[in-house]
Amino acid sequence: MPDTDAVLESIDLALRTLSRSAHAARPIPTAVSVELSPEERRLSGALMRVNHVGEVCAQALYAAQALTARSPELRRQMRAAARDETDHLAWCEQRLDDLGSRPSLLNPLWYAGAFAIGLAAGSVGDARSLGFLVETERQVERHLDSHLERLPAGDHASRAVVAQMKDDEARHADEAEQAGAALVPPPVAWLMRAAARVMTRTAHVI
């Protein structure tokens, strides 16, 4: 059973995530963008809002999986990955501000749902929890690839952020595989993809 400090840490993380109080440990990847048209700014804003939702969910998933981890090594791995995701969260928030856009209005709902999923994944054991992490990160990699294709060509600043995020997600998946991740059953992977599609389509506009 998680100790009181771990629970309080999870509550603090949720409050910081939902109040936009995240601070990046690494500087935001930079690139000089050209002047974007209003339509391009709206598209970039919508895509970065979706990416921001993904990072809100990542904070919740990693917090829940760290809370339920059996081994101290897995707990440390989850928390280390979560620190990278905090960077991503702060970077996405900065890009949303730069683009004159806003986060999803449903972020509390996304966080709560992802936390519940993380608890469920962690409850079935460390190997399956790691497998869930691998599947999540591989799906996120593909999602970020699609955003690199859709972002306006001149939005180099958003592209730099998304490219670094993609590299970090790939590393998280590789590290989880090396730590002994169990393969996620195909029906579970399909359900994860279906849930992600609902989330991304909703967050694109709300």
pLDDT of residue 24: 84
Helix (H) or strand (E) holding 197: helix 186-203
Residue 26 falls inside a structural domain: no
C-alpha 76/C-alpha 68 separation (Å) is 12
Tally of domains in the chain: 1
Sign of the alpha-carbon dihedral angle for 197, 101, 82, 5 = negative
Max Cα-Cα span within the chain? 53
pLDDT of residue 88: 92
Q: What is the pTM of this model?
A: 0.87
- Among candidates 200, 156, 175, 9, which has minimal Cα distance to 86? 9
Residue 174 falls inside a structural domain: yes
108: CATH: 1.20.1260.10
Q: Which domain holds residue 40?
A: 4-21+33-203
- Among candidates 137, 8, 129, which has minimal Cα distance to 84? 137
C-alpha 57/C-alpha 148 separation (Å) is 20
Residue 53 falls inside a structural domain: yes
Residue 158 falls inside a structural domain: yes
Residue 44 falls inside a structural domain: yes
pLDDT in tens, the chain (206 residues): 555 666 667 676 776 777 777 788 889 888 777 788 999 999 999 999 999 998 898 888 888 888 888 888 888 887 888 888 889 999 999 999 999 999 888 888 888 888 888 888 878 888 888 888 888 889 889 989 999 999 999 999 999 999 999 999 999 899 888 888 888 778 888 887 887 777 788 877 77
Residue 28 falls inside a structural domain: no
Residue 49 falls inside a structural domain: yes
What are the helix (H) ranges across 25-125? 38-68, 72-98, 107-123
pLDDT of residue 41: 92
Residue 187 falls inside a structural domain: yes
C-alpha 2/C-alpha 152 separation (Å) is 45
C-alpha 197/C-alpha 191 separation (Å) is 10
